[in-house]
Amino acid sequence: MRMDTFVPGITEPSQTSDSDLWFVFNAGSLLVIGEGTTARVPCRRELEELGVAATRCRHYLGRLGERSCFTAAAEAPPQLPEHAQWQGLRRLFGRLDETVLTIAGRAIQVVEWDDTHRYCGRCGSPTALKHGERARVCPNCQLAGYPRLSPAVMGLVRRGPELLLARSPHFPEGMYSALAGFVEPGETLEQTLQREVREEVGVEITNLRYFDSQPWPFPHSLMIAFVADYVSGEIVPQPGEIEAAAWFGIDHLPRLPHPFSIARRLIDDTIASIAKAAP
């Protein structure tokens, strides 16, 4: 079956349609139409039928196939019928089409950026949208504000056929993942990962290999994933950051992140590589 491709855009087309998709948020939750165990984003016609006024922080996102995509924040959401719901994006993993979920991640970051950059951070003057760019500019001092993006690195550490996995106190019960942390000023991605692994579990690593990247809208990150090899050190979890950490063989793994996440793809790909190399 042919899958529609999303083509990002900034300039709104001259013509819109009742079938256009609307990614509408209220207090960080997305308006979706529930259909059993799945969900979908409403089109403009459905939005009007629900009586949702999506007029604040309104932006064009691009096209998904033949349908334009818009995002906005809802004003005082009305009482919704049972089939329409406000849902956090994490709760939509596995319910919303993955391409649509990725667009929703873009959408919430655009809405939150617009909502928090209404005034200039230098002189306090009201800002205005810049034509042709995703930016708000101060007419008084010309300071431009673009959507915030925080680079973060993730590293899956290997010790032969074993994987170093850890869990944060805020993870779902029993779930472990690769280590991760935000890039600090003046750091390379490689330096960040070495520092984070050292701080969080007391382990030294080497031979970092790039795996892939994924936009991660929790709240506004770009996750860059690596595989690395163990050098030395005993696991010592960082208090307050790491609840537990251990070496796991690929036949005795704990609960892992959702398949949509880059963490799970990183782990699955490394497991496959280890299994392929096994005698």
59 known member of a binding site: no
Rounded mean pLDDT of 144-155? 96
133 known member of a binding site: yes
Say if CB 61 and CB 87 are below 8 A apart: no
Buried b (16+ CB within 10 A) or exposed e, 121-143: eeeeeebeeeeeeebbbbeeeee
pLDDT value for 1: 35
Q: Identify whether residues 74 and 129 lie together within a single domain.
A: no
81 known member of a binding site: no
Sort strands 204-216 and 144-145 into parallel, antiparallel or unpaired.
unpaired
Q: Identify whether residues 228 and 246 lie together within a single domain.
A: yes
| Cα–Cα distance, 258 to 262 (Å, whole number) | 9
Q: How does the average pLDDT of the chain come out, rounded?
A: 94
Q: Identify whether residues 88 and 135 lie together within a single domain.
A: no
85 known member of a binding site: no
Q: Identify whether residues 141 and 220 lie together within a single domain.
A: no
173 known member of a binding site: no
pLDDT value for 277: 87
pLDDT value for 2: 45
| Cα–Cα distance, 197 to 155 (Å, whole number) | 8
Q: Identify whether residues 161 and 57 lie together within a single domain.
A: no
pLDDT value for 158: 98
Domain, as residue range, for 99: 6-114
Residue 1 lies in a domain: no
Q: Identify whether residues 46 and 164 lie together within a single domain.
A: no
